[in-house]
């Protein structure tokens, strides 16, 4: 029997880690329902293309994943992400003619709601003569938000799928990616979600709330297997894949983005720093590092607008190659 080389051994151990992650994960509560909705959505995208080639579909991940510490979860570890990047990018991809699967963390920013106050229900409406109506000061934003959201849903351009835990996120991402496999190069992944690096396996988790009377807490967290490799290699190998690299230290950011690009064979890695993430990002590809800035002359302009324009161009080149 031929001896395994280093890369085969690495792939084998990654497969083992991934298998054990999925085997030990609690089954998705509404798995069959999510699966049906995703399949129907993707079927509709193919139908709508008619005879004109294929439609482009992007899966946008948004928000942070949680790591539960108890099965009947009271406490959890969280990952920072407001969901602004994913929500704003959803609007720009829809504008560019993409179908969007928006895989988002429950409670984070939603597309079309960027200009609304934090608590729109309580801050944008008032009661007048026993009727609820939109406040004059917010009526235009509300009309736009509701109108564009309903339109995207009605025309079947947007599918929203929520997650909370790292277990839900990775199971749903796998389900979506495998369903998108047949779209080939017309599929795109825009992985802006902040994904936990460590988790507590379900089988080693306490059933009930951890008791503080037991003294200091000692917990062994296991590394979350790097699903980016398997997404590229097996789940949807032809899809155009963009991942994100977040750092707080600018000195290591571009190097780490470059390493991720090569290690996971991404088409581009968007590098961003926590404090400046709304002003500038750097798109790192195999041949260039392109800084993308927000247009500072327009108060409401965001960095996602030029970023999505650039990524759509890159995706077009990939499709035509
Ligand atoms: C990002 O870097 C996103 O751009 C942000 C967006 C989470 C910073 P907001 O949601 O912020 O608009 O508030 N996302 C990816 C972060 C991440 O976890 N990347 C992993 C890493 O850096 C690779 S998958 O190791």
> The CATH number of the domain where 82 resides is what?
3.40.50.10300
- Residue 40, domain member (yes or no): yes
Greatest extent of the chain over all pairs of C-alpha atoms, in Å? 83
Ligand 1 close to Cβ of residue 224 (< 6 A): no
Strand partners, 198: 223
DSSP string, 245-278: EEES-HHHHHHHHHHHHHHTT-SEEEEEETTTTT
SS3 82: coil
User: Does residue 194's CB lie within 6 angstroms of at least one atom of ligand 1?
Assistant: yes
In a domain, 249, yes or no: yes
Q: What is the pLDDT of residues 184-213, one digit of tens each?
A: 999 999 999 999 999 999 988 999 999 988
Ligand 1 geometric centre to CA of 304 (Å): 13
Q: Does residue 2 surpass a pLDDT of 60?
A: no
- 121 part of a folded domain: no
Atom of ligand 1 lying closest to residue 228 CA: 24
Identify the three-state secondary structure at position 18: helix
* Residue 139, domain member (yes or no): no
Ligand 1 pocket test, pick from 194, 243, 261, 303 with the greatest ligand atom count within 8 Å of Cβ, gives: 194
Asked whether 243 lines ligand 1 (CB < 6 A), one says yes
Read off the tokens for 244.
């994100």
Q: What is the DSSP-derived secondary structure letter of residue 234?
A: I
Tokens of 312: 């759509």
Is the residue at 10 inside a domain? no
Unique residue bearing structure tokens 């077009």 = 316
pTM over 0.85: yes
Q: Is the CB of 84 under 6 A from ligand 1?
A: yes
Residue nearest ligand 1's atom 25 by CA? 245
If DSSP codes are grouped into helix, strand and coil, which group holds residue 296? coil
Q: Is the CB of 83 under 6 A from ligand 1?
A: yes
The H or E element that residue 63 is part of is: none
> Could you give the number of structural domains in the chain?
1
Residue 50 domain boundaries: 17-113+157-210+218-320
Instruction: Answer whether residue 42 is part of any domain.
Output: yes
Domain-embedded: residue 131: no
Domain presence at residue 241: yes
Helices 6-24, 166-180: axis angle to 10 degrees equals 120
195 lines ligand 1 (CB under 6 A): yes
pLDDT mean over 262-267: 98
Across the chain, the runs of DSSP E, i.e. the strands, are: 57-62, 67-68, 76-77, 99-105, 125-128, 131-134, 158-163, 187-191, 198-199, 222-223, 240-247, 268-273, 280-284, 289-293
pLDDT at position 317: 97
Query: Is the model more confident about 117 or about 70?
Result: 70
**Listed ranges 112-116, 130-134, 302-306; the one with the highest mean pLDDT:** 302-306
């Amino acid at each position: 029997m031929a001896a395994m080389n280093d890369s085969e051994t690495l792939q084998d151990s990654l497969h083992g880690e991934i298998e054990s992650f999925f085997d030990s994960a609690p089954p998705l509560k509404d798995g069959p329902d999510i699966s049906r909705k995703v399949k129907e959505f993707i079927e509709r995208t193919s139908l709508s293309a008619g005879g004109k080639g294929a439609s482009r579909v992007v899966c946008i991940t948004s928000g942070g994943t949680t790591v539960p510490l108890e099965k009947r979860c009271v406490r959890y570890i969280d990952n920072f992400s407001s969901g602004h990047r994913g929500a704003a990018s959803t609007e720009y991809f829809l504008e560019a003619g993409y179908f969007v699967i928006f895989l988002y963390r429950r409670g984070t920013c939603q597309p079309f709601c960027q200009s609304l106050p934090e608590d729109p229900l309580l801050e944008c409406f008032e009661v007048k003569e026993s009727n609820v109506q939109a406040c004059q000061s917010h009526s235009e934003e509300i009309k736009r938000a509701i109108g564009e959201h309903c339109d995207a849903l009605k025309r079947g351009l947007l599918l929203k799928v929520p997650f909370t835990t790292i277990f839900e996120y990775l199971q749903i991402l796998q389900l979506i990616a495998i369903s998108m496999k047949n779209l080939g190069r017309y599929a795109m992944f825009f992985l802006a979600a902040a994904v936990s690096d460590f988790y507590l396996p379900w089988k080693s988790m306490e059933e009930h709330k951890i008791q503080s009377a037991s003294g200091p807490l000692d917990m062994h967290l296991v590394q979350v297997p790097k699903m980016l490799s398997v997404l590229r290699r097996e789940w949807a190998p032809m899809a155009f894949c963009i991942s994100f690299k977040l750092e707080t230290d600018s000195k290591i950011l571009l190097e780490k983005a470059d390493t991720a690009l090569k290690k996971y064979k991404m088409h581009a890695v968007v590098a961003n720093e926590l404090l400046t993430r709304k002003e500038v990002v750097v798109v790192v590809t195999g041949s260039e590092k392109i800084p993308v800035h927000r247009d500072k002359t327009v108060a409401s302009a965001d960095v996602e607008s030029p970023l999505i324009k650039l990524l759509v161009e890159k995706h077009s080149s990939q499709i035509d190659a």
